[in-house]
Structure 1
Amino acid sequence: MPRRHPPPRGARLSGVWLFTDERAATPLARLAVLLPPGSGIVVRHDGLAPGARWRLFRRLARIARARHLSLLLAGPPALARRWGADGVHLRRQGGGAAAQARRLDLVRTMAVHDRAEARGARRAGAQAVFVSPLHPTRSHPGAPTLSAAEWLRLARLAGGQAVALGGMTPARARALRRRAAGSGIALPGWAAIDAWDDRGKMKAAKRQQRQKRNAVPT
């Protein structure tokens, strides 16, 4: 796949993100087209066989090009570069790969759950950090959540653009931005799995209702 074009160094990344998840009931291609132009997608789906994961990535890449979305791969930087991703999402075990991602000129994002990971993200020069979980989330039921004050402290410590993850919705994102005003960090972005899946299921239900109405003889 031809190399995509990552944002310039220091550029502000998208404030809205979709994390792919195998739990989602809505096909990912349908979720991707729900995203506003300029949003971002982090492709996970680690449970897929390599060939199937590549085909999923390639399908999302076509949508991303058409809708001007950033496309990041969660995994090794070399694989992200080979597949033509804009960047790489480095998880807990991936901090040591940050230098390689920088050499490959990939956008770097990292997961942050605590102070140690926040400091690691700052040392790695992560351009965006996904700080979580801010709210209870279906992907990790029962996991302890961060208070808004704790979230802001980790975001400041980590540096880079802060993105909230964990039970996020547009309304919760607006509330966090109000809380962040005057806190010394840029307006935070938000990322979700279930909020996008819920929206996809709602659209599918409306589509089915329209089809039933159209099928009724007049």
Structure 2
Amino acid sequence: MKPLPTVWIVSDARNDASIERALARLPRGSGMIVRHYHLAKADRRQRFDRLKRLAWARGHLVALAGDARMARRWGADAAYGSPATLAGGPAVPRLVAIHSLREMRRAARADAVLLSPAFPTRSHPGKAILGPLRFRLIAARSQVPVIALGGMDGHAAKRLKWPRWAAIDAFLR
């Protein structure tokens, strides 16, 4: 597996209308996680294929939200999901979403984890956050790279003092 990018964009219904523009604003060689849970399967596949072509043209790595089999079938560079979703299947790089040290322990097959929410986020208003100290304490226990998620942009990454981060809204401005 090639080295994982340090900066990621996560797609969803909220940023779908401007994701192409956001991909162009990402630093070359970044990563994109395609979720698009709001679309029917056929539409999601079509949208994934288009975004994958655009991302690859800029040297970005593309992860598909789903299990490892689906990621392999659809031609993704990696799979993204929960520890349970990514527990089995073919050998593909796995990005596992976690929110606690307990979940990190269950992410045994992860090649990287997305630890969230680091800061308050529009995706989950009012949800308890990790904050910088707790985030770094959990991240320090990881055996794999940790990508910060939740209220992240370049300024938040500096505040967190963390090099790897992912965002939904950061590249839409």
TM norm structure 1: 0.74
* 1:148-182 residue CA offsets vs partner (Å, 9 max, x unmatched): 121112212232111111111101112222xxxxx
Indicate whether 1:129 and 2:110 are aligned.
Answer: no
Q: Matched residues in 2 for 1:173 and 1:47: separation?
A: 28
Which of 26, 37, 40 does residue 31 from structure 2 map onto? 40
Q: Matched residues in 1 for 2:16 and 2:57: separation?
A: 24
Letter in 1 for 2:140: R
Which of 59, 66, 69 does residue 68 from structure 1 map onto? 59
Ranges of 4+ aligned residues in structure 1 off by more than 6 Å: none
Q: Matched residues in 2 for 1:107 and 1:116: separation?
A: 21
The aligned residue for residue 138 of structure 1 is 122
Letter in 2 for 1:174: K
Number of positions where the alignment pairs a residue of Structure 1 with one of Structure 2: 173
* 1:25-74 residue CA offsets vs partner (Å, 9 max, x unmatched): 64222221111111000000112111110111111111122100000001
Structure with the higher helix share, 1 or 2? 1
Q: Matched residues in 2 for 1:63 and 1:23: separation?
A: 19
Identity %: 40
Q: Matched residues in 1 for 2:55 and 2:16: separation?
A: 20
Give the drift of 1:92: 5.0
Contact 1:95/1:120 (<8 A) preserved: no
The aligned residue for residue 133 of structure 2 is 149
Classify 1:95/1:83 alpha carbon distance in 2 versus 1 (closer, same or farther; 3 Å): closer
The aligned residue for residue 148 of structure 2 is 164
- Structure 2: runs of 5 or more not aligned: none
The aligned residue for residue 107 of structure 1 is 93
The aligned residue for residue 173 of structure 1 is 157
SS at match of 1:119: helix
Q: Matched residues in 2 for 1:62 and 1:194: separation?
A: 21
Letter in 1 for 2:143: G
Q: Matched residues in 2 for 1:24 and 1:61: separation?
A: 16
Letter in 2 for 1:148: P
Higher Cα radius of gyration = 1
- Structure 1: runs of 5 or more not aligned: 1-6, 178-186, 200-218
SS at match of 1:157: coil
CA RMSD for the aligned pairs?
1.6
The aligned residue for residue 117 of structure 1 is 103
Letter in 2 for 1:107: P
Contact 1:165/1:191 (<8 A) preserved: yes
Q: Matched residues in 2 for 1:35 and 1:105: separation?
A: 28
Contact 2:117/2:149 (<8 A) preserved: yes
* 1:112-153 residue CA offsets vs partner (Å, 9 max, x unmatched): 1011111112x22x1211111011000000000012121112
